[in-house]
Amino acid sequence: MLRYIATRSCQYAWQSLKNCVKLLLGRKLYRDERLIFFRQYILHRARIRHIRGITSVDYSGYPGAAAQAHRIMNTQNFARVYGFPYLHTPFVCINHADRPMQEWAAAWEAVFNLGAGENLCDGRKDVVNYGCVASDFLLCFGQGGEEARLAENFRAMIPEFRAKYYANKLRRPTRHLTVAVHIRRGDVSAHKNSELFASTAVVAQTIREVKSSLDSWGQPYSISLYSQDNRSNFEELWPLNVDLFLDADATWTLQKLIEADILIMAKGNFSYYAGIVSEGIKLFEPWLIPPAVVTLFPSSNWRIVSQTDDWVMCQADGSFDRSSFERKLALLLEAKRKTAVAGPGSM
């Protein structure tokens, strides 16, 4: 803490001096979120002025929609644990836009609906951007075992995140079982971002084992694959009767992943968000999150995932514990049967 305070004090003094010069020259002042937080933290600790609230906003245009959603969820979680007011800032700039940015951001705002029931951030004064300074927040306000505490609280908030998502959408139950498969391509390959890559052969093995279980139970089902790439690159999946949806609208794709009864996940924010909100069975391969992006996730290395819940861990070859999967499948089928008896209105 002493090193942090000394370092940030020097940085703050130097930045203030440069901004004074910029002001005299009529240039735009530079805003460093780390130094904004440092000033607010000192005033807060000195009881001169409390931090009015925390928000999460990214103007860089780099993170994708799900990455920014995770930052907001982390911010809401931190605010809940430490008693700070959360003030919602709608999305401004999101990567991979397929339409004008304002429309793209608004579309994703409606998808995640994380601002439902929250107060809006009506100005940045005295409001700290947690999404950019999460590590500083944890250093200054955290104590021992904070990762575990935040992970456990995030876990408790999952029904709330799910309720926000469905607050402006209708659930669409089906009588047969739906299996959604997400394979990352496009920005991921065996040579690019290889830690996020899963070969088609590995995913095919997971699909075969899921099919084997469903066939043994005599359950009608459909399997849909959502990805980017050419159809010819998924030739290994053709004998498995998988419907391919390639380069489809991203917001529609996310909804399909969430609503599937069984979700075979890819590595990354998009699948991870779908898994959090989904009420189905999630099959995933764990991966080590690089330190540079660890704050995008609710906790490092999938710590919120519990084998007693709806998550089933896959091995590197795509196989998984069939007995664990089938126990969860029995519970899923019973819940689906009750829903069908009660009718769509019960959802």
Which CATH number fits the domain that encloses residue 267?
A: 3.40.50
* Distance between CA atoms of residues 141 and 139, nearest Å: 6
Cα–Cα distance, 270 to 268 (Å, whole number) = 6
Q: Are 138 and 63 in contact (CB under 8 A)?
A: no
Q: Are residues 128 and 93 in the same domain?
A: yes
Question: Positive or negative, the Cα torsion across 113, 117, 123, 125?
Answer: negative
Judgement on whether residues 162 and 182 belong to the same structural domain of the protein = no
What tens-digit pLDDT sequence spans the chain (347 residues)?
A: 889 999 999 998 999 999 899 888 888 888 888 898 999 999 998 999 888 899 998 766 668 899 899 889 989 999 999 999 999 999 989 988 889 999 999 999 999 999 999 999 987 677 899 878 888 888 888 765 677 788 888 888 999 999 999 999 988 878 899 999 999 887 777 777 777 788 899 999 999 999 999 999 998 999 999 998 888 889 899 999 999 999 999 999 999 999 999 999 998 889 999 999 999 999 988 766 554 444 445 544 444 566 567 899 899 899 999 999 999 999 999 988 887 666 554 54
Tell me: do 133 and 195 sit in the same domain: no
What is the domain count for the chain?
Answer: 2
Tell me which DSSP letter residue 192 carries: S
Same domain as 193, residue 88: no
Is 162 in the same domain as 203? no
pTM confidence score: 0.87
Q: Which residues contact residue 23 at a Cβ distance below 8 angstroms, ignoring those fewer than 6 apart?
A: 29
Residue 118: closest CA among 92, 151, 80:
80
Q: What residue has token string 């704050």?
A: 295
* Residue 13 is assigned to a structural domain of this protein: no
Domain check: are 150 and 184 in the same one?
no
**How far apart, in whole angstroms, are the C-alpha atoms of residue 310 and residue 258?**
13
Q: Is 300:294 a contact under the CB 8 Å cutoff?
A: yes
* Domain co-membership, 145 together with 46: yes
Same domain, 264 and 331: yes
- Give the Cβ contact number of residue 156 at 10 Å: 11
Domain residues for 246? 177-346
Asked whether the beta carbons of 305 and 281 are under 8 A apart, the reply is: no
